[in-house]
């Protein structure tokens, strides 16, 4: 969630980031900002709506955001180099600010991702010194293959006791007090148990490894000019789309049969699950690649005018992301309207489409008068410790 600090903005990257924000929001809405898991739907039609959203976007939009985060890191560091400065210390301070905002946002909504991106962003700094893109991609591939899960699966097959214990995040339960408690109850739950639960899930599900791996891929895409010189990557976009689509279809249909080949028994329960989870992670990555290459192929083809409308949302992703939970957590939670009990999956998706369209319209209107989104301006000004950073656009006046 960072912009170009060293030159003209990349509208295709802004539009892609806006699309990732849209996807993330469209997952959060039918998830009822996490309350869905207290009472999953059983109606076949509503379940089909939920499953369709999960198949297309859950884990994929988040992955796209992580990839864009890595490209933005490259842009910021490159901007510092162009100015003859080492941006590393400033980037750490920038991440500290993002982490602080994430902690505050996490009081309101347990599923905040800002803090996670801030922490994982710290691991990018050493890789900035690595000049070989092949080395970076090799490290990214290892991380995306979920090495910790692979180690656990192999150790579990060898009969190791620790490797056959379920991961801690399996025991996570959403507190039902979210449904009926006060705002203070929600904040207290998020502090006392929600924060630890989030990190337990991020680690145990392999999300942390995935974030770092995708951020490294995003770095390499920035280095190679994937977004800055789109004409040079036209064939790559089409080839990548076809390959990732084929991989996604194969993984979707072969995931269960392949995982079923792993031995399982009374004392050896985890290896099969770990392989199944690894294959699911690879499916999410393949689908993310489909969205990435498909979006950019359309953007740099017949759909540029339409998809370009997402660019303003991508320029103020931070503000819009926080606003989504500020508005809809009270809509679903017990201290607000409590609509978790009555809103269907189809209604949640429909409201999500309407709400994001309103955010998009607001973003277009906003940038007629301002240079940055509100939180983006605060983040940038605090990064440079300079409140004089221009915020409003200066409109030329016609002399009388």
* Any domain includes 330: no
Cβ atoms of residues 335 and 181 within 8 Å: yes
User: pLDDT at residue 5 above 80?
Assistant: no
Number of Cα atoms under 13 Å in the Cβ half of residue 311:
14
State the DSSP string of 296-314. Answer: HHHHTTTTHHHHGGGHHHH
- In our burial notation (b when 16+ CB lie closer than 10 A, e otherwise), range 220-255 reads bbbeeebbbebeebeeebeebbeebbebbeebeeeb
Contact at 8 Å (CB) between 63 and 212? no
- Can you tell me which residue has the tokens 């209107």? 365
Q: Based on the structure, what is the number of domains in the chain? A: 1
Query: What is the per-residue pLDDT for 1?
Result: 60
User: By three-state DSSP, how is residue 389 classified?
Assistant: coil
Residue 36 domain-assigned (yes or no): no
| 20 within a domain of the structure (yes/no) | no
Largest CA distance in the chain: 87
Would residue 118 count as lying in a domain?
yes
- What's the rounded mean pLDDT across residues 122-145? 96
Dihedral pair phi/psi, residue 370, rounded to 5°:
-130, 155
Name the token pair of 173: 């339960």
pLDDT band, residue 266 (cuts 50/70/90)? confident
267-280 confidence digits (pLDDT tens): 898 999 999 999 99
DSSP one-letter code for 5: S
151 domain residue, yes or no: yes
Residue 319 domain flag: no
For all residues of the chain together, what is the average pLDDT?
94
Q: Let me know if residue 150 belongs to a domain.
A: yes
Residue 276 — left, alpha, or beta (φ > 0 → left; ψ -120 to 50 → alpha)? Answer: alpha
348-389 pLDDT, tens digit per residue, is 999 999 999 999 999 999 999 999 999 999 999 999 999 999
**Rounded CA Rg of the chain:** 22
Q: How confident is the model at residue 4 (pLDDT cuts 50, 70, 90)?
A: very low
| Alpha-carbon torsion, ordered 17, 22, 28, 29, to 10 deg | 170
Residue 185: how many other CB atoms lie within 10 Å: 16
And the tokens for 273?
A: 């699950």
Instruction: Give the per-residue pLDDT at 395.
Output: 66
Range of the domain at 129: 42-305
Confidence of residue 396 (pLDDT cuts 50, 70, 90): low
Query: Which pLDDT score, from 0 to 100, does residue 286 have?
Result: 98
In this predicted model, what pLDDT tens digit does every residue of 142-161 receive, in sequence order?
A: 999 999 999 999 999 998 99
């Amino acid at each position: 969630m960072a912009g170009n600090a060293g030159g003209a903005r990349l509208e295709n990257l802004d539009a892609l980031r806006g699309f990732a924000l849209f996807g993330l929001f469209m997952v959060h809405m039918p998830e009822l900002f996490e309350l869905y898991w207290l009472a999953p739907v059983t109606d076949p039609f509503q379940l089909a709506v939920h499953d369709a959203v999960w198949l297309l976007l859950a884990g994929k939009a988040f992955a796209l955001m992580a990839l864009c985060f890595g490209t933005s890191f490259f842009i910021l560091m490159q901007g510092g180099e162009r100015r003859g400065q080492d941006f590393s210390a400033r980037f750490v301070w920038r991440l500290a600010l993002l982490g602080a905002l994430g902690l505050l946002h996490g009081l309101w909504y347990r599923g905040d991702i800002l803090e996670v991106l801030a922490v994982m962003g710290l691991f990018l700094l050493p890789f900035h010194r690595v000049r070989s893109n092949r080395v970076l991609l090799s490290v990214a591939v290892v991380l995306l293959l979920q090495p910790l899960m692979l180690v656990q699966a192999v150790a579990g097959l060898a009969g190791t006791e620790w490797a056959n214990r379920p991961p801690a995040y399996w025991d996570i339960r959403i507190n039902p007090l979210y449904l009926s408690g006060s705002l203070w109850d929600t904040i207290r739950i998020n502090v006392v148990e929600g924060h630890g639960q989030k990190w337990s899930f991020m680690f145990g599900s392999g999300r942390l490894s995935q974030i770092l791996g995708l951020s490294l891929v995003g770095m390499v895409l920035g280095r190679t000019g994937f977004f800055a010189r789109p004409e040079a990557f036209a064939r790559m976009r089409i080839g990548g789309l076809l390959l990732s689509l084929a991989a996604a279809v194969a993984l979707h249909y072969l995931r269960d049969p392949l995982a079923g080949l792993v031995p399982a028994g009374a004392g050896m329960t985890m290896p099969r699950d770990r392989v199944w989870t690894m294959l699911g992670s690879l499916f999410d990555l393949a689908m993310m690649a489909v969205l990435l290459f498909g979006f950019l192929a359309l953007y740099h083809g017949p759909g540029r005018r339409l998809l370009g409308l997402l660019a303003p949302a991508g320029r103020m992703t931070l503000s819009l992301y926080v606003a989504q939970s500020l508005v809809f957590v009270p809509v679903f939670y017990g201290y607000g309207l409590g609509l978790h009990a009555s809103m269907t999956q189809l209604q949640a998706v429909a409201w999500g489409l309407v709400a994001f369209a309103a955010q998009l319209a607001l973003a277009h209107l906003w940038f007629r008068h301002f240079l940055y989104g509100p939180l983006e301006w605060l983040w940038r000004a605090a990064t440079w410790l300079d409140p004089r950073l221009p915020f409003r656009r200066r409109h030329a006046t016609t002399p009388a």
